[in-house]
A and B are shown apart, each in its own frame.
Chain A
Amino acid sequence: MTGYLLRRFGSLVASLVFASLVVFIVLQILPGDPALVILGPDARPDTLAALRHQLGLDLPVWLRYLHWAGGILTGDFGRSTAYDAPVATLILQRVAVTVPLAVMAMLLSALLAIPLGVWAASRRGAVDGGIMSVTQIGIAIPDFWLGLLLILLFAVHFALLPAGGFPGWWHSVGGSIRALVLPMIALAIPQAAILTRVTRGAVLDVGVRDFLRTARAKGMAESAILWRHAVPNALIPVTTLMGLQFSFLLAGTIIIENVFTLPGLGSLLFQAIGQRDLVLVQDLVLLFAGLVILINFLVDVLNAVLDPRLAARQA
């Protein structure tokens, strides 16, 4: 187990170094000059040159990479050119929106999906058919459209919750939670629909295995078979999918952030690319890559705990 974890950790570090090189090179190739974006069409050549110097863009490419990568190793993530603020501060402000939102949406999704999926698998027929039709709709509905419907209903019509915006945790804890309720639901429902189907499929898949036939043969109650044997063995595809979904909720929520005007990580990245805020883009991509790799790593570890054979097979 320890050797397995060490090797997984080693590949985690190698992936991060690779990701940092890729994002840096891509941003070098991408057309667009940060100084030109900041100063606009009327800027004179001498002004552009002065700003490029101020931003350190006149240094050789390899030196800029070393400055950036070296800074990260010493805990200095650099400064955003657009906000003129340390990137670490900017990212932390956005993490305070995105991470609670992703965690809440993931929890809601799991709380809905796992019981529903298990229920559908254990009661075939009308219950199963009903749940499957509902999840089909849930998968087909785009989250931004669901978000708009929720806004129309709960913000415009009933005026129960805000239509968008985020007051900030320091300013108002209650207001901040209220601001996250509708986006959480809009994000959770399509994810829950997918997760329900995967849970159902996994439980059904386990249901035909030999050990369940043995359990039935020795006279175990169906509910005990379900919860003690079928569900634990069905968890691996479920946790793997939840890992993927959580990565998506951290990095891929730009559209929902737009609909609810939430200052999250997705919109920060989008804005940073548009403004060619190079260091900020590099740091964010590295952060996302790191998070995805870390979540995959944690899922692997969790799966190894759930099914010790996985680690043993790869040892």
Chain B
Amino acid sequence: MGLLAALPWHAAFAGPPDSLTLAIPLEPPGLDPTAGAAAAIREVTYANLFQGLTRIDAQGRVIPDLAKSWTVSPDGLTYTFDLQTGVTFSDGTPFDCSIVQFSYGRAMAPDSVNAQKQLFAPIDKISCPSPAQAVITLKAATSTFLYDMAWGDAVMVAPKSAATNKTHPVGTGPFMLSRWVPGDRIELVRNPHYWGPAPKLASVTFRIIPDPAAATAALLSGAIDAYPDFPAPETVPKFQHDPRFTVAIGTTEGKVIMALNEAHKPFDDVRVRRALAYAIDRKSIVEAAYSGLGQVIGSHYTPNDPGYVDLADTYPYDPARAKSLLKAAGVKPGFTFTIMLPPPSYAQRAGQLIAAYLSQVGINAKLESVEWAKWLSQVFTQTDYDATVIAHVEARDLDIYARPHYYFNYHSPKYDALYAQYIAATDPATQTTLVQQLQRQLAEDEPNIFLFALPKIGIWRAGLQGMWTNDPMPVDDVTGVSWAK
């Protein structure tokens, strides 16, 4: 692609000033955010098509959405939501408290196929004192409840359209689906029934462009206006030097880690895990895997999140120390294990560099590439693996280290106790103290080698305003986007 910079500019940007064409890397398997985990579903639907009681804004704060306000009882068990009135779905179905009962009831039902069913586990019952008020009682105080209900999986759906949302999504959002060309594009238009202020954009087209070179060409030729999560970090400097584009390097919730299977010896020994952390220069991993655009992390938490503690220097690069720790743990030089690498290029590149660093301390890491479906079955479900490089993209997912049979097989009664306190805490100060203790505990135990936070590389035409520069959730909310006059 070295040729690109040398070429003069001839491509004319077309398109009316109230339309936007943006690209995403993968096509969503259906447009029902309550029936699938693929990030692409929420990239298209979140805030644009579907809305929940609460939502996340560009800064990651929980703000009102279909609930205009709420109160929480002092014991943290009862949430009273005052609902927006005059809201209808894009097919005209009115929204009220019965929709809240239906949507959450459907997500909790025995035959539910909601990918995040555990978000609804704390709910005991939902009552409707009036159509404009929903009272939700919890089984136990859950400090993350308002945040949890802002997930794309907790949106409001209507009984009439719930079953067909996958192909004909009907939500309360400011846009609605106008056309879907499978494999190529999804077109949204303004929802005439929208209850709030109309969005500035009249139409939004999501193009599906997985190939990094094709993505670069699409931006340069003017075929797309924006690529909010640009897949070719190595071509970023070209766009940064081009006044026709805005390049925004932001943060995401993605934590790239080398997960270790503590059920496989010698990874049950904390000295071995620390040795691996000392053996790897994570700055150069970011350089190789993401052109240096990510931030090194030292725990399972990103700088985006409330209460972040910078623990990146817990295990500085120190191969001598790594060797002595390995010796103390009885790991002989020539010890061999396998790192499973899923398809994303950051995993492939990071894996190769990690293997090179480990060979410096006498460890022989074999690399095995696996596709996503096999990764889910073999690594995640059957935990039949030694190590793997993977990004955990869910926000603030400290709970996974407290789950009893999660795939890294990390068990720490101390961590579990801290997590239970954190989730039950009702005042923000205690929450912050506890969330910091949780991060420190993970850094100390180093169940996985924490590598770096995935950056969000946003590239769009200069003059486009209101695009999210950070990804507090992996979504493409375009409700506030407009062109500068």
Cβ–Cβ < 8 Å partners of A30 in chain B? 373-374
The CA of A248 and the CA of B46, in the complex, are separated in Å by 40
* CB-based contact B37/A164 at 8 Å: no
- Residue ID in chain A nearest B164 by CB atoms: A84
* CB-based contact A275/B223 at 8 Å: no
Interface hits, A233-277 → B, CB 8 Å: 258-264, 267-268, 271, 273-277
* CB-based contact A42/B116 at 8 Å: yes
Cβ–Cβ < 8 Å partners of A47 in chain B? 112-115, 117
Q: How far is the CB of A276 from chain B (nearest CB, A)?
A: 5
Cβ–Cβ < 8 Å partners of B37 in chain A? 38-43
Asked if B79 lies at the interface with its beta carbon under 8 angstroms from chain A, I say no
Which of B29, B210, B220, B377 contacts A36, CB < 8 Å?
B377
- Residue ID in chain A nearest B180 by CB atoms: A83
Which of B3, B110, B182, B374 contacts A93, CB < 8 Å?
B182
* CB-based contact B112/A152 at 8 Å: no
- Residue ID in chain B nearest A46 by CB atoms: B110
Interface size on A, residues (CB 8 A): 58
Asked if A151 lies at the interface with its beta carbon under 8 angstroms from chain B, I say yes
Interface hits, A29-63 → B, CB 8 Å: 30-33, 36-44, 46-47, 50-51, 53-54
Given A31-B377, A84-B166, A157-B8; A94-B217 close (CB under 8 Å): no
The CA of A159 and the CA of B221, in the complex, are separated in Å by 7
- Residue ID in chain A nearest B10 by CB atoms: A159
Given A164-B217, A166-B184, A263-B181; A85-B167 close (CB under 8 Å): yes
* CB-based contact B381/A156 at 8 Å: no
- Residue ID in chain B nearest A33 by CB atoms: B377
The CA of A40 and the CA of B217, in the complex, are separated in Å by 32
* CB-based contact A94/B183 at 8 Å: yes
* CB-based contact B115/A162 at 8 Å: no
- Residue ID in chain A nearest B26 by CB atoms: A271
The CA of A68 and the CA of B10, in the complex, are separated in Å by 52
Asked if B36 lies at the interface with its beta carbon under 8 angstroms from chain A, I say yes
* CB-based contact A42/B394 at 8 Å: yes
- Residue ID in chain B nearest A255 by CB atoms: B211
* CB-based contact B394/A156 at 8 Å: no
- Residue ID in chain A nearest B121 by CB atoms: A44
* CB-based contact B214/A163 at 8 Å: yes
A-side residues, CB < 8 A to B, are: 30-33, 36-44, 46-47, 50-51, 53-54, 81-85, 90, 93-94, 148, 151-152, 155-159, 162-168, 171, 258-264, 267-268, 271, 273-277
Q: Offer 24 A-B interface pairs, CB within 8 angstroms, sorted by A.
A: A40-B36, A42-B116, A42-B394, A44-B118, A46-B110, A50-B113, A53-B111, A155-B217, A156-B217, A157-B8, A159-B222, A163-B217, A165-B207, A165-B223, A166-B181, A171-B179, A261-B207, A261-B209, A261-B211, A263-B183, A264-B183, A268-B183, A274-B372, A275-B373
